[in-house]
Structures are given as structure tokens and as C-alpha cells.
Amino acid sequence: MTTQMKVKADDNKSSASAALKILPRKMLPQAQARNPVLFVVWVGALLTTLFSIGQPSVYAWTVTVWLWATIAFAAFAEAFAEGRGAAQADSLRAVRDDAMANLITADGVVQVAAAELKRGSEVLVSAGETIPGDGDVIEGAATVDESAITGESAPVLREAGGDRCAVTGGTVVISDQIRMRITSEPGETFVDKMIGLVEGAQRRKTPNEIALSILLSTLTILFLIAVVALAPSGLFAGVRLEPLSLIALLVCLIPTTIAALLSAVGIAGMNRLVQHNVLATSGRAVEAAGDVATLLLDKTGTITYGNRQATALFVAEGIEENYAAAAARVASIADETPEGRSIVTWLTFTYDLPAEASAAEKTAEIIPFTATTRMSGIDIDGRILRKGAGDAVRAWVEEAGGKWPTTVENEIERIAQDGGTPLPVAEETADGARRVLAVVQLTDVVKPGMAERFAEMRAMGIKTVMVTGDNPLTAAAIAREAGVDDFIAEATPEDKLARIKQEQASGRMVAMTGDGTNDAPALAQADVGVAMNTGTSAAKEAANMVDLDSDPTKLIDVVRIGKQLLITRGALTTFSLANDLAKYFAILPALFASQLPQLGRLNIMHLHSPQSAIVSAVIFNALIIVALIPLALKGVSYKPASAASLLRRNLGIWGLGGVITPFIGIWLIDLVVQLLPGM
């Protein structure tokens, strides 16, 4: 047995053990009352128990025992699904409990229990120590082991500033020391939310489940009325129908199979997300993922590797090369983004420039990049340097009457068409004159296999839209190479939000990934918003899912899990409703065979006797629940296909299978049941 198979077997054993512990609680009437279909079965089992005590027989007690078995199997299905998350919840509690923190106070550093930390508390975490709560790194950088939370053994870098500042409570600092600010109150951390998620008893029903529950309840009421009406109808035909047989008929006809497995399917879908290290705040988000028609994905880090590096410097006519290189370095000296650092590193190495900032550069006025200006820079010693998007820098230069050389514009277009990012650098001297000095070329690389994944999305009927702050030429080149359907260039938070609203206005469900504060409005607006765990607190609070691995491409897996959940629920519903046909042929002839022998023609399975036919149908009705538990937990396999194709497959496999299986199953059970005395 392989290690993976052994772990899976151990997990199933642990889940079964946990399920058996809570099984008695699940079988109580107040627990069954939450599911109208199963509550009817519970009441029926109680009535047959009383009937069997009053008029005991092998037939009566066999029906009674198997009705209670039906309740037990249904309760076990839900309990087992919940039990699969119990082990993970226990391990997460171990991560959370007993943690200590080095709280920074006005009097120095004081060690306190992590549970005492409040939002806004600042703590120091050194190598070998556990991060006491969710927060943002505000000073320093360190490698962090997140395997306790994400399962990923490779350490990750967490540092102040940028998109990799977020840390999760329960993870361990491997090297260096960081100062962090707590962003969650006790009991509200992501570990606490995960514990609540994997313990499926706290999971609320989703709209789809509620609608299906209403349908099942309606069918149950209709069958209840029909069965109750059979008693006087039988008397009219001269047939006295026993209450026990009518109860058995009712239980077999109502959709007990899907009612028993409905909760397990939903819990299993949520647990599959947890196994993919995705935390969903509600089951509604998982279902919405199954109906997504448009995906908005960030280019950087999702479609491309995201570590754009400076690879070339094009110098404008009339500008001395070393002067231009030095100016580009100064313009980037305060840029703490990976791109800004790469520019400084590359220029320092290529042109032998100082690696450290001078005293004047340290005290100069820094102009940060904004989505509105799309430029950053520095004002130093009467000299103004700007660096940013081509059209933004050009507008800045021409605003003061400066010229924009054709050669510079041609170089910007060439870099963009090649899929790179051009960053022109310009200056304003003390006399107010502005001119462009050079263009820095940044190069990014599309991740391998992305085109195939987007083709898979297209086959699923999902439109992919790349979102990037790059200029339209660069965006078009990357989009063409990656194979996305559309793109938004030079995207601002307003642009992202407007595109999502536009898609939703057309009746489409929209999903989006993001990690920055500027992504928060769009993440909140999207039907499925997936925030990266390394992202800002604002992004995680706005989203309805958080990817603990911070892998933006996982959104594709989230969509697959959502579709698999919906398809599994539909398949089991189809199978459950199709089951009734065989039960008609088993029970109805049995009820009227004594007085209406012509109905014996309907006994196409040639069941041994009326009693064995009813008992066989009741036993099959119970055993099919057990047989389908693995399918409910694992989910029906999903392959990208059109809705019409999926419907044909659903009807062909689960509809036809639901018709044929009971005929075979009831016939085989009857071969055994007829050996019992009194059958």
C-alpha cells in the first residue's frame, strides 16, 4: 500500500469513527425535523415499531428494522461528511491553542497569550516562533513555514510593503525577525473560520439546496396524499391495506435517497475546497462558482510569473548613456516594488553605479505611484524625475512644452509588441524644461500551460478576461500569447468594477482574483471573489473565498469544484427520482394481488410473495443510500462540455441507471428475503 493510499485509508477510518460518535444525535427527531423527507421516514419507522409490538411478525419487524436502518444510513452519510473535516479541525486547533506573542508596548516587549491580542496590536516574531495571529508585516522580512495551514512544505517570503505582507496565525517564522500588526480579533482569525468551515454542522443551506429541499418536500406531500388515498380506494375495491404496508410504500416512493445525501454533497463540496486550501465564507460562493460564465484574472502572478525584470535601457537621442542610466536609477531608488528593485539592481550592475542611496537621495521627496497618475518618481536638488506608463510620461513632458521624439515612441511600441513593459524616464530641470531621457524595458514571461487551461475554460463555456495595468500594446501581446478571450489594459479599480457590473447586467456570473486594496471593490462585487492569503486585509475581507496558497490560477479549480458539486447534486436527484419506477412494479402488485390477481402481470421481476416484495423494496431503499455515500463525498467526475451534452449524460447514466438498478437490486434481495420464515 502506498503512503498516499494509507493516509487516505486512515482518514476514512477516522471519519467513520467520528461519524459513529455523533450518529445517535443525528437520529433524534429534532435533528431529523430539519429534513422533511427523512422526518416522514422517522415517523413511519416509529409507527411500524408500535405496530410490530402490537402485532409481532417476522414481516413486520423486518420492515421496521430496515426503516430505522434507512434513518441510520442517512444520518451516517451526513455525519461521515462532517467527520472528514474533524481531523483537520483538530490539527488547526492545535496550531491555534497555547500560542504566545511578544507584544510591543510603551514599556517594551511583553510576552502574552495570543488569545489576548486585539486588532491593531503590534508584535515581534523571531526565527523559530509561531506567528500568534493574522496580520500584516510592517517592518522587516522573513521566510515563513506555512505548512501547518496550507500543507505546502516550501517556505515563503513575507516582507513589509507590497503584496506579500500578510501572514497567517499558526505559521512559523524560519529565519530573521519581523514586526507585524494584528488585523483580526480573537476568534475571528482564518484558522477559526477554517475550523468552523470543516465542521460541517455549522454550514448553512445554500439557495440551491433550499430550492431542492422545497421540491423534495412537495413530492413527499404529494406521495403522502396519494398513499393515504389508497386505503379508502382499496376498501372500495374490496382490498384491506395494512398500515404497515402503506408506510413501506410511502417510504419507498418519496425521494429518500437524495434527501439523505443532499447535506453530505454540500458538506463534501466545501471540504473539497478546504483540501485545495481555499477557504470559502459560504456555500453560496461554492455554488456560484459552478455557474461562473466570466473569469477576470490579474495578469501579473496569474498569467505571467509576475517577476518582471529590467533587461534593457534605450537612451533618447542627444542624451549621454551614463547620465540616462544614473537618472533611471535615482528615479527608481525609492521604488520598493520588485520591478523597481530590479531596475536599480540591473543598472547598478550594468553601469557600475552606486548600490546604496546617497544622503541627498534618502532625504529627497518621494512621489509614489498611483493608479490615477500612473507615474512615480523623486524630487531632488531642484531636479524632478518621473518614471511610469508611456502615455502618462509623454503627457507630463508635453504639458510643459517638451518634445517627445519619434524614436522614443517607436521603441515603446516595439517593447510593448514584444510583450515587454516599457517605462520611460523623464526629467524636469531647475529651469522648468522637461525631456525624456530613456526607456527601461521590463520583461515578463507567460506561465507554461496557460493557453491550454484557458482553452479548457472556453470548452466549459467560460469567457476569460485578463486584467492588467500595462498599456494596450503590451496587454494585447500577453493576451495573444496566453490565449485569453479579452483583456482590460491600464485597468483602474473603477475599470474592474465597471467590467464586472457590465457582465452581471448581461446575466453572467463573474469570478475574480485579487490581492491588493485596489482590488477590494471588484472582489466584493464579483459573484465569486477569491483573495490571495498574501494579499491585504481589505482584499480578504471583501472576497468570499481566500486562497491560502496564494495561487491565482486556482480559481480554475474552484470553478471545477463548483460545477462538480452542482452536477453531483443533479445526478443523485435524477437517480433518486428514477428509482421509483421499479418500486411501483414491486409494491403495487403486492398490495392488491390477493383481490386483484390481474395486477400480477405487473410483477415483472417475479418476486416471491407480496411480503417479500415489500421487504425487498424497503431494504433496497436503505442500502442504496450506503452505496451512494462514496459518490456523494467524492463527486461525479466532471469534464468540460456544453449544458446540452451534460444533460444528455445525466439522463443517460443516472436517469437510465436509476431505472435499471432497482429492478436488479430488488430482484436479488428478494432471492435472499424469501428464505425468511413467513415470507
Which residues carry out catalysis?
A: 298
Q: Is 537 annotated as a binding residue?
A: no
Q: Is 52 annotated as a binding residue?
A: no
Record the cell numbers describing residue 144, joined without a space.
515563513
Q: Is 57 annotated as a binding residue?
A: no
- CA atoms of 20 and 1, how far apart (whole Å): 26
| Torsion angles phi and psi, residue 593, rounded to 5 | -60, -35
Q: Is 201 annotated as a binding residue?
A: no
Q: Pairing relation of β-strands 486-488 and 463-467?
A: parallel
Under DSSP, the state recorded for 135 is E
Q: Which of 307, 17, 7 minimizes the C-alpha distance to 151?
A: 7
Q: Is 374 annotated as a binding residue?
A: yes
Please give the radius of gyration of the chain, using alpha carbons only, rounded to the nearest integer. Answer: 33
Handedness of CA 55, 61, 63, 64 (dihedral sign): positive
Q: Is 369 annotated as a binding residue?
A: yes
Give CB contacts under 8 A, 24+ apart, made by 216-225: 216/36, 216/37, 216/254, 216/255, 216/258, 216/259, 216/262, 217/36, 217/37, 219/254, 219/255, 219/577, 220/36, 220/37, 220/40, 220/254, 220/255, 223/250, 223/253, 223/254, 224/40, 224/250, 224/254
Other Cβ atoms within 10 Å of 486 Cβ, number: 13
The CA distances from residue 472 to 312, 425, 464, 510, in Å, are 21, 19, 17, 23
| Burial readout 603-617 (b: 16 or more C-beta within 10 A, e: otherwise) | bebebbbbbbbbbbb
Q: Pairing relation of β-strands 383-388 and 463-467?
A: unpaired
- Please, where are the H alpha helices in 550-642? 555-578, 580-592, 610-634
Q: Is 387 annotated as a binding residue?
A: yes
Q: Pairing relation of β-strands 509-514 and 528-532?
A: parallel
Q: Is 470 annotated as a binding residue?
A: no
Q: Is 372 annotated as a binding residue?
A: yes
Q: Is 352 annotated as a binding residue?
A: no
**Extended beta strands in 473-542, E state:** 486-488, 509-514, 528-532
Q: Is 515 annotated as a binding residue?
A: yes
Q: Is 335 annotated as a binding residue?
A: yes
Q: Is 649 annotated as a binding residue?
A: no
Q: Which residues are annotated as a binding site for ATP?
A: 335, 339, 369-376, 387
Q: Which residues are annotated as a binding site for Mg(2+)?
A: 515, 519
Q: Which residues are annotated as a binding site?
A: 335, 339, 369-376, 387, 515, 519
